[in-house]
Structure 1
Amino acid sequence: MLAVSFPAAAFATNCYVLATGRGEECVIVDPGIGIEEQVREVLRELSLRPAAVLLTHGHVDHVHSVAAVCGGDVAAYIHQDDRYRLENPLAGLDPGLLAMFEQEFGQATTWDEPSNVRDITDAESLELAGLTFDVLHAPGHTEGSVLFSLNDIPAGLPDEVDVDATLLSGDVLFAGSIGRTDLPGGDDAAMRRSLREVVLPLKDSTLVLPGHGPGTTMQRERATNPFLNNL
């Protein structure tokens, strides 16, 4: 599959654009803060048409640009347990952090809720833009955090990267780490359960594309990630 990624203007949140090829429909994953122009450039350069936006969870650094990217027609998909966060994800921010946003981004800190939102649930399969996304509910970072699993891999990977599936892991699993559980809606016990029951069973040949930081593989994380080893 065609896969393009780039970091957002704040928190270096990874936004992904996935499609079966140039000139096709695409899926945009986690449109964070200040990514609108980058998305437009990618769509223009590759002649892509948005079919859907997937949200791994409802934190503002992953959803800030969702309404701008969706417009009035494209649906945003989020787990039902995080749906409430789209009413105003800025409301849960620490006042000091919100003040920093206002200084840095000005009116960008205001919030527009997307008009077309669709709830997703665990084990659901989404057929979007010619790709199949399997939803894996993995609470802990937030109540409605999910992983999106595909049986496709990005084109152009180096030969030494031996993978045959892709996981969009949001803020559940990072290279060498995991998402924090001390924010509102976080739950350390739920995160450990998700890692043990949802993440660890994934096959080693899975490419992991996280919400922050570089990509990795399940083989590498199983061998080196201390949060998995300690389970």
Structure 2
Amino acid sequence: MLITGFPAGAFQTNCYVLADGPGSDAVVVDPGQEAIAPLEQLLAEHRLNPVAILLTHGHLDHTWTAQPLADEYGIPVYIHAADRPMLADPSIGIGAGLAAMLGDETFTEPGKVVEFGDREPVTLAGITFGVDLAPGHTQGSVVLTTHVPGPDGDVTVALAGDVLFQGSIGRTDLPGGDHQQLLTSIAERLLPLPDDTVVLPGHGPTTTIGQERATNPFLQGLAPGSHTTERGSK
């Protein structure tokens, strides 16, 4: 399987592309600000045909170029229903203060939108993605998982959006954020995954579940399936 990507725009949001291999159909994950030119270069380099755009959540730094790209290629955009309104109105997710920085820039919903369902896998470009609703950063955040063949068997890959980062977790101070809910989502949807699961976060470097379980300060005392930690319990 081909998995590649690049950090896009001022927010350095990781945009990923997944395909069975060069010269095949592909899916694009989280095309953020200024993602169009580097994405089209990458697609041409690997001779890829995009068939869908998957959004881990609705924040503008992850969705900025989803509509123009989707409409250019005539492909659907997948997003959870709870975050779908942000496609046309980013202020819902970032607040009026930050939205004012956008000036006169306007956004519209893509022509084709498909809503993710929790625990309802989707198969696109020959790749099956598990879909796990993981609210806390936003109410519609999802973790997308797939399996990549390795020398010792399949390895799980988790596209975590802004739920989990190397050494950190997503912010919860924007509209719809909830710190305790985010910890619960990580405990229930990410920590049960194998230690060798490769985590592709929305920002920053790749990591693994095992590394974060052992070293991430926000996860200390958080067990798979638990709802509270000493740090975050209420």
- Which deviates the most, 143-152 or 63-72? 63-72
Partner of 1:78: 79
Matched with 2:89 is 88
Deviation at 1:112, TM superposition (A): 2.6
Amino acid across the alignment from 2:160: S
Structure 1 position 113, deviation (Å)? 1.6
For residues 67-96 of structure 1, the C-alpha deviation after alignment (integer angstroms, 9 at most, x for no partner) is 111116200001121112222114544555
Distance across 2 between alignment mates of 1:148 and 1:195: 13
- Measure the CA separation in 2 of the matches of 1:222 and 1:203: 11
Task: Indicate conservation of the 8 Å contact 2:80/2:142, yes or no.
Answer: yes
The runs of 5 or more residues in structure 1 that have no matched partner are none
Between 183-192 and 138-147, report the one with greater CA deviation: 183-192
For 2:79 and 2:197, the matched residues in 1 are separated by: 23
> Could you tell me which of 141, 145, 149 is aligned with 2:145?
149
Separation in 2 of the partners of 1:193 and 1:78?
21
Match of 1:189 in 2: 180
Gap change, CA 1:66 and 1:26, over 3 Å in 2: same
Shift of 1:230: 3.5
Distance 1:192 1:52 in 2: 30
Quote how far apart the aligned CAs of 1:97 are.
3.6
Q: Is the 8 A contact 2:27 2:51 kept in 1?
A: yes
Tell me, yes or no, if structure 1 residue 65 matches structure 2 residue 65.
Answer: yes
1:203 aligns to 2:194 (yes or no): yes
> Structure 2 length as normaliser, TM-score?
0.88
SS of 2:148 mapped into structure 1: coil
Alpha-carbon distance between aligned partners in 1 of 2:188 and 2:95, rounded to the nearest angstrom: 32
**Whole-Å separation in 2 of the counterparts to 1:19 and 1:100:** 36
Residue 133 of structure 2 corresponds to residue 127 of structure 1: no
Task: Report the TM-score, using the length of structure 1 for normalisation.
Answer: 0.89
Question: CA-to-partner distance for each residue in 1:7-65, whole Å, 9 max, x for gaps?
Answer: 11121100001101111010000000011011111111111111100000000000010
Tell me the distance in 2 between the aligned counterparts of 1:24 and 1:90.
Answer: 36
Compare the two structures and name the one with the higher helix fraction. 1
Say whether the 8 Å CA contact 1:82–1:142 is kept in structure 2: yes
- Residue 20 of structure 1: aligned partner: 20
CA distance in 2, matches of 1:122, 1:85: 19
Q: Structure 1 stretches (4+) deviating beyond 3 angstroms?
A: 90-102
Question: Identity over the aligned pairs, expressed in percent?
Answer: 50
Q: Distance in 2 between matches of 1:67 and 1:96?
A: 23
* Aligned-partner residue type, residue 175 of structure 1: Q
Aligned residue pairs, count: 220
Q: 1:80-138 CA distances to partner (integer Å, 9 max, x unpaired)?
A: 21112222114544555445444xxxx7x321321100011111111100111000110
Counterpart of 2:112? 116
